[in-house]
Structures are given as C-alpha cells and as structure tokens.
Amino acid sequence: MKAFRTLYIFPHPDDESFGPAPVIYRQTKRGEEVFLLTLTRGGATKVRFKYNYTIDEMGEVRVKEMEKVKQVLNLTGMDIWDMEDGSLAYMNPVDLENRVAEHIKKINPDIVVTYAVHGISGHHDHLAIHATIKRIFSESDRNIKFPAWKRLALFTFPKPENSEQDGAMAHVRTSPVNMIDCVVELNQEEKLKLREALYCYDTFVEVIESTKVIDHIGDKVYFEFFNEDFKPVLKDIADRL
C-alpha cells in the first residue's frame, strides 16, 4: 500500500514557507509522503533589485534557497518549474491546466494543497493556480480525465474579529471564519521549523522581518477544504479521510 501522500502546489519559491511549512514538517515527520511543486523560479520578485540580480540570477538564488527548505522539511520530492514568474494568470489557461493535471496524475496524491481563492497576497499567480487546481479537482471528482484525489485543502488566514489588521499584515487577504474547516495547532518544534524554513530564504530576511509573518502565523495554520464542511473544525489536514 502506498504511503499517505500530499502534494503542495504553489507558484513561487517561499510560498510553501510563508505558512504551510510546519504542517508539511508534521506530515513528513509522521512518515507521510509530501511532494512540493513550484511553477516558477520566482526570479521576478522586486527583492532582486536590492541585490542587482537579473531575473535569471534571482531565480537561481531562490532555487538554491528552496533546496535548503527541502532538507529542513524532509520533503519526499520537489519540482521547480521554469514558467515565467508573474505570467500564470496571462498564459493559456488550458495549457496551464494540462501541465498541472499531468503532474498531479504522476504524483497521485491523497490531498492537494494550494492557496484559497484570495491568494493571501492577491498576487495574480496565486489566484491563477487556485482556479486551475479547483477546476482539475472538480473534473477529477466527476472522474472524467483524472484519477480522483480525496481532498483539496486551501491555505488561508481567518478574517480577524476586529476589522483593523495590524500594519505590517494589512495587505493579507483572509477567509470568513465559517469557511475554515481545519485549524492545525503547532507545537514548539513545528513553530521552530516554520522559522527555520523561512530563514532558508536569505535574500528575503527583510521581508520576513518587516511583515512579522512568524508572529502573524503564531501557533495556528488554517485551511479551507473545497466542497467539504467541518464544524467543529478538524485539527489535521488528513483527518476524516
């Protein structure tokens, strides 16, 4: 029997570390297989101007940083594609869908994880990948082209109770609390792994610190499950499968 398998799909190197990393670590630690697919090398980030890197040079640096994340989280497999950073929302959506679907088919996961509909930052690549994967999942559900996987988990943050968000995270998009189906409470070791994964991105230290992302995540990671509804919320993304 194959091990329980989760595939995380994000557009850019570091998307996996800005939140989901400690959940990935929990899964690999308990012997599950976790694969990560990143569609671009993330070379177009404005951080590159600070270092005077070309898009290609910045992409190379981020790929190296991501290799360190692979070690920290003990990923079973990692693929980094070289689609154009910033282009996913503007390319032929059928081509994007076919390529991603092919990969999902090859990995054959039980769960796929990507961004919620708002893409957290609202980056168009994040929105495009959400729409793409949701469509593939819905097709697989009807068993037309793809082998079905069981759950589509969407990484998110909850809408804060008072609408004023603290300055550094004011740009973060959130999900209404009633949309959230799973809240993973992190233990001390997992919180340290979040920090360790983020700090693999040497070129992003300023972003990590100015956004106070570690404080914002705190000790909880939130997911919506597409087409599933759990109240009370589940405590783990693999529960009830």
Distance, in Å, from the CA atom of 11 to the CA atom of 22, rounded to the nearest integer, reads 19
User: What crossing angle do the helices spanning 55-73 and 21-29 adopt, rounded to 10°?
Assistant: 40
The stretch among 7-15, 59-67, 110-118, 217-225 that binds Zn ion (CB under 5 A) is 7-15
- Closest approach, Cβ 133 to Zn ion, in A, equals 14
Name the residue whose CB lies closest to Zn ion.
12
What's the gap between Cα 89 and its chain centre?
17
Size of the site for Zn ion (CB under 5 A): 2
3-state secondary structure of 119: coil
Beta strands at 77-83 and 111-115: parallel, antiparallel or unpaired:
unpaired
Tokens of 132: 């793409």
Work out which of 7, 8, 13, 15 binds Zn ion, going by CB under 5 A.
15
Q: How far is the CB of 30 from Zn ion (least distance, A)?
A: 27
Least Å distance, CB 57 to Zn ion, is 19
Where are the extended beta strands (E) located within 13-66?
33-40
Residue with smaller CB distance to Zn ion, 85 or 196? 85
Distance CA 8, CA 115 (A): 10
Q: Give, to the nearest 10 degrees, the angle between helix 188-198 and helix 55-73.
A: 160
Residue 65 found at the interface with Zn ion (CB under 5 A): no
Q: Is 70 helix (H, G, I), strand (E, B) or coil?
A: helix
Between 5 and 223, name the residue whose CB sits nearer to Zn ion: 223
Segment near Zn ion (CB under 5 A), from 10-18, 162-170, 183-191, 223-231? 10-18
Using the contact rule CB under 5 A, the part of the chain among 11-19, 129-137, 149-157, 216-224 near Zn ion is: 11-19
Q: Which is nearer to Zn ion, 15 or 33 (CB)?
A: 15
Nearer to Zn ion, 15 or 196 (CB): 15
Least spacing, CB of residue 161 vs Zn ion, in Å: 27
Nearer to Zn ion, 12 or 130 (CB): 12
Residue 74: which region, alpha, beta or left (left: phi > 0; alpha: psi -120 to 50)? left
Is 196 one of the binding residues for Zn ion (CB under 5 A)?
A: no
User: With respect to Zn ion, which residue has the nearer C-beta, 221 or 234?
Assistant: 221
Q: Is 12 in the site for Zn ion (CB under 5 A)?
A: yes
Residue 83 CB burial class (10 angstroms; 0-12, 13-18, ≥19): middle
Q: What is the contact surface with Zn ion in residues (CB under 5 A)?
A: 12, 15
